[in-house]
Structure 1
Amino acid sequence: MSVLADAVREIRNALGNGRVTSTIRTKFQATALLLRDERARVRAAELSDSQRGERLKRLDDLATSLAKTAVRHPALLALLSEDAVVTDDARALEREMAGRAGIDVAPPEEDDAPAEEPATAPAKPGVVPQSVISRQMANPFLAPDFSAARPAAARPSRLSGWELLGPLLRSFERAGDGTSTTMELPEPTSLAVPGGRELMPHQARVVAAAAEGHRTFLLADEPGLGKTAQALLAAEAAKAYPLLVVVPNVVKTNWVREAGLWSTRRKATAVQGNGDSVDGFADIVVVNYDVLDRHAGWLGDFGFRGMVVDEAHFIKNKGSQRSQHVLELSERIRAFTARPLLMALTGTPLINDIEDFLAIWEFLGWIDEKKPLGALMDALTDTGLTPADPGFSAAARQCVVDQGIVRRRKVDVAADIPDRRIADLPVELDGATGRSIRAAERDLARRMVIRYEDALAARGSGPRDGIDHDLVAKVATWEQKDAAGASNGDNVFGMMRRIGQAKAALAADYAAQLARSAGKVVFFAKHVDVMDAAEETFAKQGVRYSSIRGDQTPNVRQRNIDAFVEDPEVAVVVCSLTAAGVGINLQVASNVVLAELPWTAAEQTQAIDRSHRIGQSEPVTAWRIIAAQTIDARIAALIDDKAGLAAVALDGSEEEVGSSTDAQHAALVALLTEALSAEAGAA
């Protein structure tokens, strides 16, 4: 009963702001399932009539409270129906809650165990989220978009009998240095965008091209040059809504976050799992490759007027299921909308594995499986050349570039960007690990609340009006001292370590993507087990790395540094924040991944300065991997507040404004204050 009562209260408190998140939906469904199971268990138990009646009444009261909460949120109310789809996360959380209540729980079925799907695994059955059905019912006669004239029928071409795809690919392979890799882009009229933000000049030129009517882009800028913002604002300029965005899972949360920053008038929603939390009325729908198979059906009928594929090299294998789904969706969008916005984003240089770009060109509608199409075929015809003519290769390559290829390197636009900047990449910790971490954070907050209330009662102050912030600071200090001497991990230090472990594979996967697209990467972590997990990920992906740790001899350490600096095949160096944060030169890399956050801005700056130092020829970007909706995000904000991160990013200031203990204390204060505010709101 206490477990159920706590869950109902937490759901009610969390819904105080009126927003239904995927976490709340999962907890709501798990609680409803546990209520039903407990009711059946009480009815079957050997109890007296009075005992049974009393327990059933308490269960009915909790169920009524839960139902009243759901009445205000239709998305939750639908979960109470008998035919509602029960998610794997809800089943897992139900088992976890039952276990906490001391109820014997049947072991999960084999299907519940996470396993990597083989390449030949059958497609998961298609699903249609309830909110999407609501949208379809609200607009059942969705008509094709005839706002612009459809392309005219292909005109006769003297190239019709020629095999052209091979010569087009070879035209890129044989291009010499200095050959254009970017279409001609217009000068922007303004850098300002809604929301008070400002674009960099190179970003604004792509947005200006979309505003002038260009609708297909292969945007191949190096990482750190703001491809996400360019895509979102190009969609705004082209009025390409609703917009579908297909991304790797590691950047899905960041896309939703960036949409909130750049597309302030548009609502973004992410497709998680079976799509239970999808907002069917959103303007921007973000879905990751891994779940595209089960959502391809309704996505194809949604009426999108634009589509963005991030890390587009993921579709290079046209035989893969995800590539086929992406190509099918783009074809359905072209059939629905006369001139949709189609953008493929990738940092992979165009000269590497050029055949992989056939799938991207097909996604953009430039070619089909056999030949160039539409505007590209017309442009090739207009050259007056055939593959047998000496000048065909250069002319053909320019024709492809003019269809919408844009490739800028950091060094090319160095004047546009700071010489050092920090970019946050929020990630969701899904599954049992994420639930466990969030539960541990709640337990820590609850422990401090009890300590605060006990201290308040011992002081004899009586009922309090508001929060005693001096007492909050003292409780945080007590918790901090206890944590420093504790042997278990049930404290802020243990929590940060668990978060680091949970982020390790995600951070390593992102670092591997950076290494493939932009060259060498410096990877920092605090804990040895996080470094171990990252190195395991690199090994599985075939990424060569070296390692700098505190337990190495000076000779081994220098040998590993030399391997990273001098061997072009060593793409990543995995560094300990403590052992490699000072005294070494890694300026061969201009991308730094911080898999775990240090406690102070000074430590962060020292780590970044391994690459950002005299002799570095490119701007340096530090990518902070932050676990969303956890204390990790609080600590990132505290580091920024304490040190004035803008100064650190723009002028290299290394001023220390607070120690590591200050950040730890501030994080605990923030956690306790938030918990007390939530309790006061519930009361």
Structure 2
Amino acid sequence: MARPGQRQGRTRRTAPRNERRGRGANDVRSVIARAIREVETAAQRGRVTPAVRTKFQVVALLLREERERVRADETGSAASRADQLKRLDGFATTLARTAVRDSGLLSLLSEDAVVSEAARSMKREMLTDLGIEPEPEEEPPAQPAVFSAAPERRVVPQSVISRQLANPFLAPDFSATPPPQARPRRLVGWELLDPLLNSFERAGGGVPACMPLPAPSSLQAAGGRQLMPHQAQVVAAAAAGHRTFLLADEPGLGKTAQALLAAEAANAYPLLVVVPSVVKTNWAREAGIWVPHRAATVVHGNGETVDGFADIVVVNYEVLDRHIGWFGDFGFRGMVVDEAHFIKNKTSQRSQHVLELSDRIRSRFPRPLLMALTGTPLINDIDDFLAIWQFLGWIDESKPLGDLMNALEETGLTPADPGFYPAARGCVIDQGIVRRRKVDVAADIPARRIADLPVELDDKAGRSIRAAEQELARRLVKRYESALAARESADVVEGVDADLVRKVARWELKDATASATGENVFSMMRRIGQAKAGPAADYAAQLARSAGKVVFFAKHVDVMDAAEESFSRQGIGFSSIRGDQTPSARQKQIDAFVTDPGVAVAVCSLTAAGVGLNLQVASNIVLAELSWTDAEQTQAIDRSHRIGQTEPVTAWRIIAAQTLDSRIAELIDSKAGLAARALDGSDEEMSSSADVQHEALVALLTDALAAAS
């Protein structure tokens, strides 16, 4: 107590941290949010001074302590704690993204980072200003590293390290344990894997191998997109709690969309998607269409461009071995394996990596979403099922597991009983086998549709094509600038002169048509076709294995040659239909494709085989090169889509991503249907190939001028 007449000094009342509630906690979060914004702004401006680094470390320490306090606080409701943790996780994400901009900041997020005396002092001042008594400082306990130093890890992308160093903010929660496995009773001692395989050979009886599926709750997806009923059934099953699927629908029935939306229904994010390289880009594109609010990242090579904070990580089988280490500790809640027959050989490295990853996911997250997608679950024999079943967690190396074992026990039968095989087959199917054919769901899908498949060209070809495209654009710009300079001043317009752009494009097209020298729109498209030959042939081979006969169309002979070489290497029988054949030789090739079960692909010239042929034995078409008109494209598709065709026809149009190919495809689509409207009496002028070529050059020049302005 101060004496009478003595000036009373200022006092501060502080509360221990473990007694902090309500406004105090909110104040701490406000300070954290404000400090993060200040640091983020400084990093964006490239002004990361020592004072900014000190503040960054302090806010990281406060955020870590605040998260621990919230998790330990049992006075509030679980919902309240979840909301608080969600907000703190948002802070942590911003903090980690900021750290990526500066290696000095990134190192401060490490658990073993040295806390400077300046940071300790600033932290004490912040807490004291909030009326919170700082705790006595002591060495923090060692935290387990989120990413193991497993010897198999080859690379860890820098963006993933940023996510790692944001711990414990974004650390995957591995505290949950999987449910206990079933204990065999009646079937103890029985060898069960061979009987389960035999049940699919002996007990089919013509019954479809498809689990019971619920009625769709909705046919609407994000952005108002419409699902087909058979697609919505799988999504509804995931929403109802089913978590393992062998989705064996035929190609063209939208397995990619079903998998992405099933993951959304099951909240199975982050999601790992393992795919063949030819469809890697398409998966990212489909994710942007069906789940646009989920960030998707594609792993190329060593993963330099990976977004470590993405919800969907897409990787191809060929580079899986480089990333197996950090994949296993990333905290995935779901995993999709596309073209799952690729893992049928369990001794292969890629199969072992896939099985290892599914084991890790199941051990760290109860009931994850696991989906194996393939139109061909069996390639050689019934044993091909084993690797897929093991990936899904239905079996291990020697026996059924979990729900499957329980279901087999509940039948009350053993392999010695006559009714065991049909009952066992039903038990396996109910675990999640879904198989629909085009003919089964014909009412759901259009009788004829075009599906674009974007592919990334390999590094060397891609760089060469993009360089040639840039050179063509530079030539167009130079021509435009020369024409602009030659004009009278009164003729000059503000900004880009659209009329002059169209004239320059017309001059360029005329010169390209008259001369075969130099890079032009025709040579560009031919080079792109050559680069696409390999991926297009690979995809046609996949279709042939999973859906039967395929028609492969190309414009240029060298593209056909490259495709046929690829089919020969892969052991795919093919016939070749070209313009230089005699009528008898041509008919012999057609007959071989139509009648010989060993001939799976018809390699056809777009101009020579695009009319006058009946190839309705196939319902899948691969367009390896683009036509210049929609009419030419339609003529090719109609070789299969014609009277007598009993299945819906799908044309898979291979598009080289980030090249002139994509622009041409858009132009063809924008002009599609003009012929039909003209036949119906429309006054609209019909489109020609020159229109598309001209518009492509107009778009290329317009983009180049906009980029230069």
TM-score (structure 2 length as normaliser):
0.77
Return the alpha-carbon distance in structure 2 between the equivalents of residues 177 and 418 of structure 1. Answer: 30
The AA in structure 2 aligned to 1:564 is F
- Out of 402, 409, 421, the position equivalent to 2:430 is 402
Return the alpha-carbon distance in structure 2 between the equivalents of residues 77 and 594 of structure 1. Answer: 46
Return the alpha-carbon distance in structure 2 between the equivalents of residues 554 and 202 of structure 1. Answer: 44
**Alignment pair present for 1:426 and 2:454:** yes
The AA in structure 2 aligned to 1:570 is V
Superposition CA RMSD, Å: 2.3
Aligned pairs for 1:115-514 (under 5 A) are: 126-140=154-168, 142-144=171-173, 150-348=178-376, 350=378, 353-461=381-489, 465-488=494-517, 490-514=519-543
Return the alpha-carbon distance in structure 2 between the equivalents of residues 468 and 668 of structure 1. Answer: 15
Is the 2:184–2:405 contact (alpha carbons within 8 Å) kept by the matching residues of 1? Answer: no
3-state secondary structure, aligned to 1:192: coil
- Out of 674, 682, 695, the position equivalent to 1:666 is 695
3-state secondary structure, aligned to 2:213: coil
Is the 1:520–1:571 contact (alpha carbons within 8 Å) kept by the matching residues of 2? Answer: yes
Return the alpha-carbon distance in structure 2 between the equivalents of residues 508 and 656 of structure 1. Answer: 36
The AA in structure 1 aligned to 2:478 is I
Aligned pairs for 1:540-579 (under 5 A) are: 540-579=569-608
3-state secondary structure, aligned to 2:551: strand
Is the 2:152–2:324 contact (alpha carbons within 8 Å) kept by the matching residues of 1? Answer: no
Is the 1:219–1:406 contact (alpha carbons within 8 Å) kept by the matching residues of 2? Answer: yes
Return the alpha-carbon distance in structure 2 between the equivalents of residues 471 and 423 of structure 1. Answer: 36
3-state secondary structure, aligned to 1:198: coil
Is the 1:643–1:656 contact (alpha carbons within 8 Å) kept by the matching residues of 2? Answer: no
Pick which of 169-178 and 402-411 moved more.
169-178
Identify if the C-alpha distance between structure 1 residues 124 and 601 changes in structure 2 by more than 3 Å, giving closer, same or farther.
Answer: farther
State the 1:176 CA deviation. Answer: 3.8
Return the alpha-carbon distance in structure 2 between the equivalents of residues 175 and 442 of structure 1. Answer: 61
Return the alpha-carbon distance in structure 1 between the equivalents of residues 440 and 340 of structure 2. Answer: 22
Identify if the C-alpha distance between structure 1 residues 576 and 235 changes in structure 2 by more than 3 Å, giving closer, same or farther.
Answer: same
**Alignment pair present for 1:582 and 2:611:** yes
Identify if the C-alpha distance between structure 1 residues 575 and 351 changes in structure 2 by more than 3 Å, giving closer, same or farther.
Answer: closer
| Same amino acid, percent of matched pairs | 76
The AA in structure 1 aligned to 2:297 is T
Summarize deviations over 1:24-69 as a string: whole Å, max 9, x none.
xxxxxxxxxxxxxxxxxxxxxxxxxxxxxxxxxxxxxxxxxxxxxx
3-state secondary structure, aligned to 1:599: coil
Identify if the C-alpha distance between structure 1 residues 616 and 153 changes in structure 2 by more than 3 Å, giving closer, same or farther.
Answer: closer
3-state secondary structure, aligned to 2:188: coil
Is the 1:159–1:381 contact (alpha carbons within 8 Å) kept by the matching residues of 2? Answer: yes
Return the alpha-carbon distance in structure 2 between the equivalents of residues 76 and 459 of structure 1. Answer: 48
**Alignment pair present for 1:602 and 2:660:** no
State the 1:460 CA deviation. Answer: 3.6
Identify if the C-alpha distance between structure 1 residues 77 and 541 changes in structure 2 by more than 3 Å, giving closer, same or farther.
Answer: farther
Identify if the C-alpha distance between structure 1 residues 269 and 571 changes in structure 2 by more than 3 Å, giving closer, same or farther.
Answer: same
Return the alpha-carbon distance in structure 2 between the equivalents of residues 647 and 254 of structure 1. Answer: 30
Identify if the C-alpha distance between structure 1 residues 559 and 219 changes in structure 2 by more than 3 Å, giving closer, same or farther.
Answer: same
3-state secondary structure, aligned to 1:578: coil
Question: Equivalent residue for 1:625?
Answer: 654
State the 1:174 CA deviation. Answer: 2.0
Return the alpha-carbon distance in structure 2 between the equivalents of residues 275 and 502 of structure 1. Answer: 23
Question: Equivalent residue for 1:528?
Answer: 557
3-state secondary structure, aligned to 1:241: coil
3-state secondary structure, aligned to 1:206: helix
State the 1:567 CA deviation. Answer: 0.6
Runs of 5+ consecutive residues of structure 2 not aligned to the other structure: 1-96, 107-150
Identify if the C-alpha distance between structure 1 residues 360 and 483 changes in structure 2 by more than 3 Å, giving closer, same or farther.
Answer: same
Is the 1:145–1:338 contact (alpha carbons within 8 Å) kept by the matching residues of 2? Answer: no
**Alignment pair present for 1:635 and 2:664:** yes
Summarize deviations over 1:170-191 as a string: whole Å, max 9, x none.
1112234521310000001110
Return the alpha-carbon distance in structure 1 between the equivalents of residues 646 and 486 of structure 2. Answer: 62
- Out of 538, 544, 548, the position equivalent to 1:515 is 544
Pick which of 474-483 and 132-141 moved more.
132-141
Return the alpha-carbon distance in structure 1 between the equivalents of residues 669 and 381 of structure 2. Answer: 40
Identify if the C-alpha distance between structure 1 residues 276 and 643 changes in structure 2 by more than 3 Å, giving closer, same or farther.
Answer: same
Summarize deviations over 1:213-260 as a string: whole Å, max 9, x none.
000000000000000000000000000000000000000000000000
The AA in structure 2 aligned to 1:604 is Q
Return the alpha-carbon distance in structure 1 between the equivalents of residues 578 and 511 of structure 2. Answer: 29
3-state secondary structure, aligned to 2:272: strand
Return the alpha-carbon distance in structure 1 between the equivalents of residues 573 and 387 of structure 2. Answer: 27
Pick which of 200-209 and 460-469 moved more.
460-469
State the 1:353 CA deviation. Answer: 2.0
Return the alpha-carbon distance in structure 1 between the equivalents of residues 665 and 98 of structure 2. Answer: 32
Question: Equivalent residue for 1:101?
Answer: none
Is the 2:411–2:423 contact (alpha carbons within 8 Å) kept by the matching residues of 1? Answer: yes
The AA in structure 2 aligned to 1:158 is R
Is the 1:602–1:656 contact (alpha carbons within 8 Å) kept by the matching residues of 2? Answer: no
State the 1:202 CA deviation. Answer: 0.1
Is the 1:129–1:274 contact (alpha carbons within 8 Å) kept by the matching residues of 2? Answer: yes
State the 1:645 CA deviation. Answer: 9.5
Is the 2:379–2:545 contact (alpha carbons within 8 Å) kept by the matching residues of 1? Answer: no
State the 1:660 CA deviation. Answer: 0.4
Return the alpha-carbon distance in structure 1 between the equivalents of residues 269 and 258 of structure 2. Answer: 15
Return the alpha-carbon distance in structure 2 between the equivalents of residues 548 and 564 of structure 1. Answer: 10
Return the alpha-carbon distance in structure 2 between the equivalents of residues 274 and 498 of structure 1. Answer: 27
Is the 1:488–1:494 contact (alpha carbons within 8 Å) kept by the matching residues of 2? Answer: no
Aligned residues between the structures: 562
3-state secondary structure, aligned to 2:489: coil
3-state secondary structure, aligned to 2:370: strand
